Structure 1
Amino acid sequence: MPQASVIVVGNEKGGAGKSTIAIHTATALLHAGASVAVLDLDLRQQTLGRFFANRRAWLAANGVAAPMPVEHPLSSDGRALARATDDEALARFAEAFEEASGQADFLLIDTPGSDTAISRAAHGLADLIVTPMNDSFVDFDMLGVVDPVTLELTRHSLYSETVWNSRKVRAAKDRKTIDWVVLRNRLAPTEARNRRRLDERVEALSRKVGFRIGPGLRDRVIYRELFPFGLTVADLSPTIRPVSMSLQHVAARQELRALMHALGLSGFADPEQIAAE
């Protein structure tokens, strides 16, 4: 059975924008004509699952169509499964993963902002790991440790260790390389000294542990505004327009295309079109 390309959106720190990146990546792939399956491993929060439930309800209520992913909830009661043993959670994940990976071109997995057994398992199965981080040394601390006096990078940190181990195991088992992209999410609109310092440390860590750096999504109102409807800027059209249009929407679409290109999904992003807009 053909296997989907597995994209894992992960970072063990909450609030980094994982679910925002996951829903925009999924909808961009869907509108590009790819079949997409989704797994939400944040068993308590279920942001990804709720987004697509909102999407289904809004589309039905307004009598319009938009592409939907194949959904594979691990349990009808995510909170109960979150309290279950690691063995039970891993068994549910293995079932859902096997079924979903044979049903789509891409399998997109959203992970919780914490270290769990199923999150580690998902990272080990990834073809691409996408790690959003906010423009802050608070977020960088999950990836790398800096000297408190000089701010020089001293070593990699907790989440980097998780990805490093996943890559080693995957290479030994399947002789496959996991691509890792760190997205600079919610960047401040103006240049600042702290921003330059952070840029230098991210680049230094990328050379040390081997990730690529890409642009994420800015903190735009339109992203938050469309979430309750289960929609993204990729969905906006003459028939799907739940909010008034503005120049911000054009910039957000361009930002999403740049994101997809940075993730290496070249068949779903046209850099010439990005530049033209």
Structure 2
Amino acid sequence: MKTKWFRNLGLAVMALSLTFGSVSAVSASSKLSGRIVINGSSALLPLTLQASNEFKKLNPKVKISASAAGSVTGPQSVRKGIADIGACDWDASTSVPGFAAFSGQVANKVAVIPFAAVTNGSVGVSSLSTSDLQGIFSGKITNWKDVGGKDAKIVVVNRAFGSGTRVNFQLKALNGTDFMTKGDNYKEVKSSGDMKTAIETTPGAIGYIDLVYVSGSKMKAVSINNVAPTEANVINGTYKVWSYGYYMTKGQPTGAVKAFIDYVQSSKFQNGSLKKLKFIPLAAMKK
């Protein structure tokens, strides 16, 4: 009887230790305080919002606000001092076509973003070649029957200039071919959410978006050169239309900003919520 009593007491003490240990851990992390303002990529916004919710539960004294007006607004906001983190779909500390480097900023990798060519669910096409995409997005191919689909007008939906998704799609899916910019079969949208809505509601539409936004039957992600836009194909190197997502900061991050970026880069978040959102963990890519 005494043995059983001591065993139960030991279990109770262990439970209390674990409980108070958890409280201490939360209390310690809760000492972190401050405000973090994030602006930029709409492709990264679902990740940013999820990470913010999780981080604030661990650090209730930290306030985080996030908005998305396109990748270029991220480093621009950091440069102007109105954001602590600029979410961007390219390394804005280096020059890319159309955008000079943002000097003094540090690019912190946070995710791998697969992008996909997407069509309205009714067009009847499952794969397009690079030359098909170049012809469609330049305005030279205007009917789906010319690329194996239905006899229907193609409506090109493009992201506005300054979008990181646009930069990556043009470079990696179109091999740098210029977009068409006007016409009765052309639309331009400001964000990934707007792209999703336009593709789902416009018969004959084609555009491009990151995989996190692809869901349901109204929008279809098509293969490129018969290679599907999947996590496995990005990792094995057969699907090329992807980029790293970055959190740009003015110099090396410190304080609450560093703690937040560390959390997003942690294996817990990378292999948990990040994967569930259809992003790919940084560690999955071959160096």
Q: Which structure's CA Rg is the greater one?
A: 2
Q: TM-score, normalised by structure 1?
A: 0.28
Q: Which has the higher strand share?
A: 2
Q: Which has the higher helix share?
A: 1
Q: TM-score, normalised by structure 2?
A: 0.27
